[in-house]
Amino acid sequence: MPPAGRELEVQVLGAAQSASPAVRRSALDRLFTGGCVLGDGAMATMLLDRGASIDTCCEELNLRQPEAIAAVHAAYLQAGAEIIETNTFGANAYRLERCGLRSKVREINLAAVRIARHCVIRAAGAQIAGAIGPLGMRIQPHGEVSCIAARSAFADQVHALAEGGPGVGADLLILETMMSVAEATEAIAAARDAAPWLRLVVMMTVDENGDCLDGSSAQRAAARLTDLGADAIGCNCSYGPTSVLRAIERMRAATPLPLAAMPNAGMPFSVEGRSNYPISPVEMAAFARSCLQAGVTLIGGCCGTTPDHIRAIKSVLQESAPQESG
């Protein structure tokens, strides 16, 4: 059970104080009306940095250590994130099965939304994206999982993330680190069917050249995701900011939709058994400037990024934002 009020409350108070008036104007509205919105950064690498063991099932912590998840959300909200992602990247039946938790898909996703909701309520209008990652299995014709089974697994996760409807469940959905357009197709269909009222951001992950991992070009993926009914598309994780920017610039030419960019902090290298990521907050700020020039409207980070990276992006968005009143 997540701790009732008090412990979470203490952690999120600072976040409430740092929220800007612009946040209260609804990040989601601005995302879809040409504004630029700040997402959050990594969850799993933050938990590892804070002492979680490498074999921990991060999503199980929604049940066992909700205060640890809330603390990461609070750190991102304090850094200025306007949309935070639930700790549910791997909370689908196939990935949870590896930790013996297949039967807890609903419980784990519900807990994640509850923790995030608790944090944003005190953060003056920031919003919650239900995070959905790949199943971790190859689907037919390249693997053993049928398209129907894949769609059903995504639908189970979406139902739980959306449960309770507006203001209770997630405010939007982010499908991320999608490695194949075929899998994204099933995930989009599941999301549209299970929670048609939720806006849907779909991000592919790409190789160093900016091509999708199933061999599709970024342009082709963008056109397909647009046809499938995504509300915004983009690229996350990948090989760091340069690869993501390469893909985003190609996607821009192939879609009229808002673009999202959330790279990892470069490829990790190990020092004394710890993963280090090479991209600094200053480099992330440079990336954010390039994103603005490329027309990106949702910017955040993935593996290895921290509240300092998000703060650096925020400073760029503040420099470029038209002054808002109220």
For the CB of residue 304, give the shortest distance to Zn ion in the complex, in Å. 8
| Structure-block tokens of residue 109 | 């996703």
| Structure-block tokens of residue 27 | 């990040």
For residues 67 and 11, the answer to whether their CB atoms sit within 8 Å is: yes
* Closest alpha carbon to 229 in 267, 190, 260, 271: 190
For the CB of residue 22, give the shortest distance to Zn ion in the complex, in Å. 27
How far does the chain reach from its first CA to its final CA, in angstroms? 38
Choice between 66 and 134, CB closer to Zn ion: 134
For the CB of residue 28, give the shortest distance to Zn ion in the complex, in Å. 23
317: amino acid identity, one letter = L
CA 51 to chain centre: 22
For the CB of residue 233, give the shortest distance to Zn ion in the complex, in Å. 17
Bridge partner list, 38: 299
Choice between 195 and 312, CB closer to Zn ion: 312
Residues within the interface to Zn ion (CB under 5 A): 237, 264, 302-303
For the CB of residue 71, give the shortest distance to Zn ion in the complex, in Å. 20
Choice between 123 and 218, CB closer to Zn ion: 218
Max distance between CA atoms of the chain, in angstroms, equals: 55
Task: Reduce the secondary structure of 110-162 to three states and give it as a string.
Answer: HHHHHHHHHHHHCCCCCEEEEEECCCCCCECCCCCECHHHHHHHHHHHHHHHH
Choice between 23 and 298, CB closer to Zn ion: 298
170: amino acid identity, one letter = A
For the CB of residue 159, give the shortest distance to Zn ion in the complex, in Å. 25
For the CB of residue 300, give the shortest distance to Zn ion in the complex, in Å. 11
Within 148-307, strands assigned E span 172-178, 199-204, 232-237, 259-263, 269-271, 274-276, 296-299
Choice between 129 and 237, CB closer to Zn ion: 237
Choice between 232 and 237, CB closer to Zn ion: 237
Choice between 91 and 162, CB closer to Zn ion: 91
Choice between 26 and 264, CB closer to Zn ion: 264
| Structure-block tokens of residue 62 | 């929604």
Rounded Cα distance, 182 and 138, in Å:
10
For the CB of residue 61, give the shortest distance to Zn ion in the complex, in Å. 17
| Structure-block tokens of residue 119 | 């944090």
